Amino acid sequence: MSIRKAVIPVAGYGTRFLPFTKSTPKEMLPIVDKPVIQYVVEEAVSAGIEEIILITGYTKRAIEDYFDYTAELDNHLERHGKVKDREMIRAISDMARFTYIRQKEMKGNGHALLQAKSAIGNDPFLVLWADEVYRGKPGLVQQLIEAYNEVQSPVIHVRECTAPGDGDKFGYIDIAETVSDTLFKINTLVEKPGENRSSNYASLGGYVLTPEIFPILEQQAPGHGGEVVTADAINTLAQRRPVYAKLCTGLEYYDCGSKLGYLEATVRIALDRPDIGAEFSKILKSIVSSH
């Protein structure tokens, strides 16, 4: 069965970017001239995703407005002969079917995911995080979908993380079986194991899940931080059926939920832009030489 739906939770408070996120969603932080969330959506659409299910909160109206038509702006651009600009902003709304579901209480990413149950139905689906940007070909989503098609079971994305302190930042997989150099059957996903991690593969970037996850989430007791955590539900699922981890290769990763990760993404993507990259490079060199 092909994967056509993606769930993206966007209801969080974004406290790492206060005070900016006091009034503006962190997902709307611009990388040059596009918000972070557009990069995430474009990655999904490029791999064949047709419906984007955004789990929102009461402070996230700007995201809904961004992916909607804007009649006043459309008319303004048309009157002034800015046809390409009009086509560009219309294409943002047309690139997928967008569904918005409110998470009325912030009870964790597992609780957010559970809100999508009725929209998912019986289909396998993708879960992505709105502050993680990946660049490369084949892309993250394409590699995850190909892995799911191979094993016909849930797949989580992992990256090799070995830097000092990484064990206290991420969840790491415990490997039950090595299928290939980049595909592993897992026993469990251990949240922030510190130096006791049983592998160097950390869970980042998203999942391909099946609807079997929803009854588990409905019964899931609060875990880390008193929240319903998707990783806990995945561990329960792994006791009932095979769950795999995919080491996606050839990708640049930017954690745009952190200040330094966001700044790195902005600089690298700007440098790659044919319209501003060369001039921006000169500016950077000038700044660096003056420091």
**Which residues pair with residue 191 across a beta bridge?**
171
Per-residue pLDDT, averaged over 242-252, amounts to 94
pLDDT value, residue 1: 64
Residues 213 and 276 in one domain: no
pLDDT value, residue 55: 96
Res. 278: pLDDT tops 90: yes
pTM: 0.93
Res. 36: pLDDT tops 80: yes
**Which two tokens mark 20?**
């900016």
Residues 170 and 230 in one domain: yes
Element (H, E) at 217: helix 213-219
Q: Which amino acid belongs to residue 252?
A: E
pLDDT value, residue 107: 87
pLDDT in tens, 114-139: 999 999 999 999 999 999 999 999 99
Q: Which amino acid belongs to residue 124?
A: P
pLDDT value, residue 235: 92
Q: Give 220's DSSP letter.
A: P
Q: Spell out a b/e string for 224-257, using b for 16 or more CB atoms within 10 Å of the CB, else e.
A: eeebbbbbbbbbbbbeeebbbbbbbeebebbbbb
Residues 249 and 282 in one domain: no
Pairing state between β 183-191 and 30-31:
unpaired
Per-residue pLDDT, averaged over 200-223, amounts to 90
pLDDT value, residue 14: 85
Per-residue pLDDT, averaged over 208-212, amounts to 96
Residues 150 and 275 in one domain: no
Res. 231: pLDDT tops 70: yes
Residues 201 and 286 in one domain: no
Cα separation, 217 vs 120, whole angstroms: 14
Per-residue pLDDT, averaged over 249-267, amounts to 95
Cα separation, 208 vs 156, whole angstroms: 6
pLDDT in tens, 138-169: 999 999 999 999 999 999 999 988 887 777 77
Res. 196: pLDDT tops 90: no
Pairing state between β 30-31 and 34-35:
antiparallel
**Which residues pair with residue 56 across a beta bridge?**
102
Residues 136 and 158 in one domain: yes
Residues 245 and 267 in one domain: no
Count: domains in the chain: 2
**Domain at 194, CATH number:** 3.90.550.10
Between 197 and 180, the higher pLDDT residue: 180
Res. 224: pLDDT tops 80: no
**Which two tokens mark 24?**
């503006």
Res. 190: pLDDT tops 90: no
- What is the DSSP code string of 68-107? S--HHHHHHHHHTT-HHHHHHHHHHHHSSEEEEEE-SS--
Per-residue pLDDT, averaged over 233-242, amounts to 93
Q: Is 256 helix (H, G, I), strand (E, B) or coil?
A: coil
End-to-end CA, the chain: 55
Res. 226: pLDDT tops 80: no
Residues 160 and 252 in one domain: yes
Average pLDDT, the chain: 92
Res. 42: pLDDT tops 90: yes
Helices (H) and strands (E) in the chain, counts: 11, 13
Q: Which amino acid belongs to residue 70?
A: T
**Which residues pair with residue 34 across a beta bridge?**
31
Res. 84: pLDDT tops 80: yes
Print the domain residue range for 201.
Answer: 5-257
Per-residue pLDDT, averaged over 37-64, amounts to 95
Q: If you count them, how many residues does the chain have?
A: 291
pLDDT in tens, 167-189: 777 888 888 989 999 999 999 98
Q: Give 170's DSSP letter.
A: S
Residues 97 and 195 in one domain: yes
Res. 67: pLDDT tops 70: yes
Q: Judge if the upstream peptide bond of residue 19 is cis by omega within 30 degrees of 0.
A: yes
Residues 264 and 201 in one domain: no
